[in-house]
């Protein structure tokens, strides 16, 4: 207790010294460990594994993987340019099963900037037009009265504006206006405040402001940045996270760009950093997208730096981790209760799995045992649960993962590892 008191006092002193949001130097070994978890991704150059977010995260980090980065970007280019351009011509291209979404196209454009490239030429112009068309569609879906919702989410809407902005492509006032309205009228989120979405909107606005785009809207943009910053600060948990552990990296990216200053901001960021470091020690960051959003922060960088990135900055070369094989013990079997109560015919079953299994392993085993069916879809963040017991989540619905009775999980089916005796509920909810 005495230690905690002294620690909080120290935080207060440090906070008062630095009243901007700064993340003091982080142990490079910790950063290397995180970077090493991205290494397997660098070797997977097939379509379903290519992940522009991973590339952006690495390039804005203090570590590098040498020539593999070049190869990776080349594969991204081949995939995204061909697929997007071809799918613009014909809807059913056999090579490109799914047309990349607005968000993925935006991340691809960020990846190009992370390599200090501007989108160029005829093909480039078509990609930009494509992204603008996506945004126009979303604008129509939101509607004149702002009562509707984007087909994707305001997160991807913000990402789209950010991507155009870092490529110095201006966006119409009325497109920016939709995001401004959503921030001003608290419509970014349906059910509860999403720190990630607010942070992404704030990063997009910060880019517009720094680039002197949309001068007629300058005042509204400045106010919107302030609004999201204040809300994110208010969302800080007693442990120090902004929202939860996984929204803290994007929140910090935004707060680090802040023109706002004050002891409150400095202390809040230091507290968040301490909480993040503790979670790193606990192994909370395993997911590649989450690592890719965190690495820039540990290198004092944000997505807004893609306006003019420093591609010559020295970065430490990553070596593959030397793994010591764990001693093989008799694998212990644990029981996890799986339940689906939100359907007419409820399902509840104890599923025996090996200790350390993921929730996805539990679902697979439940399916094998009979009486349980589910479907998933690949996403950049990993497998996303789309359907349970034949019931597919509809538009603006999703299958929520909860620890019974009512605690939403903070990880997906591939990353979450239930403990012995835990009960997991899958619940169809609106968002
Ligand atoms: C929007 C969003 C949602 C929407 C997605 C629907 C939609 N039409 O957009 C809704 C509200 C449905 C949602 C649900 C969930 N989400 Co979510 N979501 C996001 C958010 C804000 C943006 C995702 C995005 O658009 N990325 C950009 C595009 C280009 O990438 P993409 O791969 O094409 O995007 C798709 C996937 O990300 C997928 N998706 C969304 N959330 C999740 C979570 C996981 C684990 C997976 C595998 C996929 C996935 O939906 C996106 C749209 O199709 C991120 C924030 C962030 N920091 O990344 C959180 C985030 C990814 N979600 C998160 C979580 C935990 C979940 C849930 C598991 C929550 C729960 N307890 O049920 C569920 C998923 C359950 C399932 N069925 O598998 C965490 C993941 C943390 C981690 N360790 O990986 C994040 C980081 C939020 C957070 N800070 O906690 N989410």
CA 379 to ligand 1 center in whole angstroms: 9
* Placement of tokens 């990135």 in the chain: 309
Please enumerate, by residue number, every residue annotated as part of a binding site.
Answer: 152-156, 196, 244, 293, 384-385, 399-401, 409, 431
Residue 13 has pLDDT above 60, yes or no: no
Place of tokens 């979303």: 138
Any atom of ligand 1 within 6 Å of the Cβ of 20: no
Best of 392, 412, 425, 430 to mutate for ligand 1, by most ligand atoms within 8 A of CB?
Answer: 412
Residue 1 has pLDDT above 50, yes or no: no
Task: Spell out a b/e string for 103-121, using b for 16 or more CB atoms within 10 Å of the CB, else e.
Answer: bbbbbbbbbbbbbebebee
- CA separation for the pair 21, 332 (Å, rounded): 46
16-28 pLDDT, tens digit per residue, is: 456 889 888 888 9
Q: Write out pLDDT tens, residues 74-121.
A: 999 998 887 766 665 555 545 555 567 999 999 999 999 999 999 988
Residue 217 near ligand 1, beta carbon < 6 Å: no
CA distance 106 to 158: 10
Nearest CA to ligand 1 atom 15: 400
The pTM score is 0.94
- Are both 121 and 259 inside the same structural domain? yes
Over the stretch 133-176, which tens digit does the pLDDT of each residue have? 999 999 999 998 888 999 999 999 999 999 999 999 999 999 99
How far apart are the two ends of the chain, measured CA to CA in Å? 41
Q: 399 vs 330, which has greater pLDDT? A: 399
Q: Identify whether residues 343 and 248 lie together within a single domain.
A: no
**CB neighbour list of residue 171: distance below 8 Å, 6 or more residues apart:** 132, 135, 161, 164, 165, 208, 213, 214
Strands 391-392 and 333-340: unpaired
Does residue 68 sit in the same domain as residue 181?
yes
| Any ligand 1 atom below 6 A from CB of 284 | no
Instruction: Tell me the three state secondary structure of residue 215.
Output: helix
288 and 341 assigned to the same domain: no
Is 13 part of a structural domain of the chain?
no
pLDDT digits (tens, 9 = 90+) for 325-378: 766 677 799 999 999 998 889 999 999 999 999 999 999 999 999 999 999 999
pLDDT for the residue 25: 84
Say whether pLDDT at 7 is over 60. Answer: no
418 in the same domain as 307: no
Ligand 1 centroid to Cα of residue 328, in Å, is 35
Ranges assigned E (strand) in 199-320 = 316-317
Please state, in angstroms and rounded to a whole number, the distance separating the CA atoms of residues 310 and 327. 44
394: left (phi over 0), alpha (psi -120 to 50) or beta: beta
Q: With a 6 A CB cut-off, is 425 part of the ligand 1 pocket?
A: no
- What pLDDT, on a 0 to 100 scale, did the predictor assign at position 87? 60
User: Is 249 near ligand 1, meaning CB less than 6 Å away?
Assistant: no
Between CA 295 and CA 1 the distance in angstroms is 32
Going from the Cα of 380 to the center of ligand 1, the distance in angstroms, rounded, reads: 9
Last-in-domain residue among 290, 317, 344: 317
Look at residues 242, 259, 238, 260 and name the one whose alpha carbon lies nearest to residue 251.
Answer: 242
Where is the binding site for cyanocob(III)alamin, in residues?
Answer: 152-156, 196, 244, 293, 384-385, 399-401, 409, 431
286 & 337 share domain: no
In a domain, 212, yes or no: yes
Residue 330: strand, helix, or coil: coil
Longest dimension (CA), the chain: 68
Using an 8 Å Cβ cutoff, are 100 and 127 in contact? no
DSSP structural state of residue 49: G
Ligand 1 centroid to residue 149 C-alpha, Å? 17
Q: Give the closest residue to 292 by CA, choosing from 17, 31, 26, 7.
A: 31
Is the pLDDT at 123 greater than 80, yes or no?
yes
E strand or H helix that includes residue 68: helix 67-89
Please state the rounded mean pLDDT for residues 6-12.
Answer: 52
CATH number at residue 285: 1.50.10.20
| Ligand 1 contact via 377 beta carbon (within 6 Å) | no
- pLDDT reported for residue 15: 45
Number of H helices, E strands in the chain: 15, 10
The predicted pLDDT at position 90 comes to 58
Whether residue 308 sits in one domain with residue 339: no
Determine how many CB atoms are found less than 10 A away from the CB of residue 260: 16
- Looking up tokens 């991807």 gives 156
Q: Which residues contact 96 (CB under 8 A, 6 or more apart)?
A: 82, 83, 86, 87
409 close to ligand 1 (CB < 6 Angstrom): yes
Percentage of the chain surpassing pLDDT 90? Answer: 76
User: For ligand 1, is residue 379 a contact (CB within 6 Å)?
Assistant: yes
Which residue out of 195, 296, 384 has the highest number of ligand 1 atoms within 8 Å of its CB and is therefore the one to mutate? 384
Query: What's the chain's average pLDDT?
Result: 91
In terms of domains, do 152 and 247 share one? yes
Nearest CA to ligand 1 atom 12: 398
Q: Check if 197 has its Cβ closer than 6 Å to any atom of ligand 1.
A: yes
Query: Phi and psi dihedrals of 109, rounded to 5?
Result: -65, -35
Cβ count within 10 A of residue 231 = 18
Question: Does residue 397 lie in a domain region?
Answer: yes
Residue 9 domain flag: no
Question: Which of ligand 1's atoms lies nearest the C-alpha of 156?
Answer: 25
Torsion of CA 323, 328, 334, 338, to 10 degrees: 40
pLDDT of 189: 81
- Mean local confidence (pLDDT), 60-79: 95
State whether the beta carbon of 415 lies less than 6 angstroms from ligand 1. Answer: yes
Same domain? 238 vs 164: yes
Give the residue numbers spanning the domain of 186: 27-86+97-317
Across the range 279-292, mean pLDDT stands at: 95
Inform me whether the pLDDT recorded for 202 exceeds 70. Answer: yes
Q: Where is average pLDDT lowest: 79-93, 182-196, 285-299?
A: 79-93
Q: Which atom of ligand 1 is nearest to the CA of 410?
A: 65
Q: Separation of 411 CA from ligand 1 center, angstroms? A: 9
C-beta neighbour count of 89 within 10 angstroms: 7
Among protein residues, the one whose CA lies closest to atom 36 of ligand 1? 379
Q: Please tell me whether residues 267 and 346 are part of one structural domain.
A: no
Look at the alpha carbons of 164, 165, 170, 174 in this order and tell me if their dihedral is positive or negative: positive
Residue 138: is it exposed, middle or buried by C-beta count within 10 angstroms (0-12/13-18/19+)?
buried
Q: What is the mean pLDDT of residues 385-399?
A: 96
Flag whether 303 is in a domain: yes
pLDDT of residue 204: 98
What pLDDT is attached to residue 8? 52
Provide the domain count of the chain.
2
Closest C-alpha among 199, 196, 223 to residue 209? 223
Same domain, 114 and 259: yes
Handedness of CA 42, 74, 125, 254 (dihedral sign): positive
Same domain? For 249 and 293 the reply is yes
Which residues, including other chains, have CB under 8 Å from residue 321's CB and lie 6 or more apart? 33, 36, 39
Which domain CATH number covers 421?
2.170.130.30
């Amino acid at each position: 207790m005495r230690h905690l008191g002294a620690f909080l006092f120290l935080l207060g002193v440090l906070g008062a010294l630095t009243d901007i949001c700064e993340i003091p130097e982080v142990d490079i070994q910790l950063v290397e460990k995180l970077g090493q978890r991205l290494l397997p991704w660098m070797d997977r150059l097939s379509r379903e594994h290519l992940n522009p977010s991973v590339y952006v995260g690495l390039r804005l980090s203090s570590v590098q993987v040498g020539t593999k980065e070049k190869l990776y970007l080349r594969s991204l280019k081949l995939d995204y340019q061909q697929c997007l351009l071809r799918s613009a011509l014909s809807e059913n291209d056999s090579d490109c099963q799914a047309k990349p979404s607005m968000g993925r196209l935006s991340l691809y454009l960020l990846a190009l900037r992370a390599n200090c490239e501007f989108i160029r030429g005829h093909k480039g112009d078509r990609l930009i037009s494509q992204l603008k068309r996506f945004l126009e569609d979303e604008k129509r879906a939101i509607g004149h009265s702002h009562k509707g919702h984007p087909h994707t989410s305001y997160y991807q809407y913000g990402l789209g504006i950010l991507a155009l902005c870092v490529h110095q492509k201006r966006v119409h006032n009325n497109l920016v206006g939709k995001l401004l309205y959503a921030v001003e009228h608290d419509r970014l989120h349906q059910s509860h405040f999403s720190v990630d979405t607010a942070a992404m909107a704030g990063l997009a606005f910060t880019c517009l402001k720094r680039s002197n785009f949309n001068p007629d809207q300058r005042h509204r943009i400045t106010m919107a940045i302030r609004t999201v910053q204040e809300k994110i600060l208010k969302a800080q948990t007693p442990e120090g996270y902004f929202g939860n552990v996984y929204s803290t990296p994007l929140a910090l990216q935004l707060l680090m760009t802040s023109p706002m200053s004050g002891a409150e901001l400095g202390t809040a960021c230091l507290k968040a950093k301490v909480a993040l470091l503790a979670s790193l020690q606990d192994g909370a960051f395993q997911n590649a997208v989450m690592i890719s959003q965190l690495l820039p922060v540990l290198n004092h960088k944000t997505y807004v730096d893609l306006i003019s990135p420093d591609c010559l900055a020295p970065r430490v070369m990553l070596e593959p981790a030397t793994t010591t094989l764990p001693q093989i013990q008799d694998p212990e079997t644990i029981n996890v209760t799986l339940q689906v109560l939100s359907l007419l015919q409820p399902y509840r079953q104890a599923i025996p799995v090996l200790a350390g299994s993921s929730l996805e392993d539990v679902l697979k085993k439940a399916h094998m045992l009979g009486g349980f069916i589910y479907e998933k879809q690949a996403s950049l963040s990993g497998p996303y649960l789309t359907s349970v017991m034949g019931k597919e989540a509809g538009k603006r619905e999703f299958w929520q993962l909860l620890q019974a009775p009512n605690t939403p999980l903070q990880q997906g089916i591939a990353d979450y590892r239930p403990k012995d005796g835990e009960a997991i509920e899958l619940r169809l909810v609106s968002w």
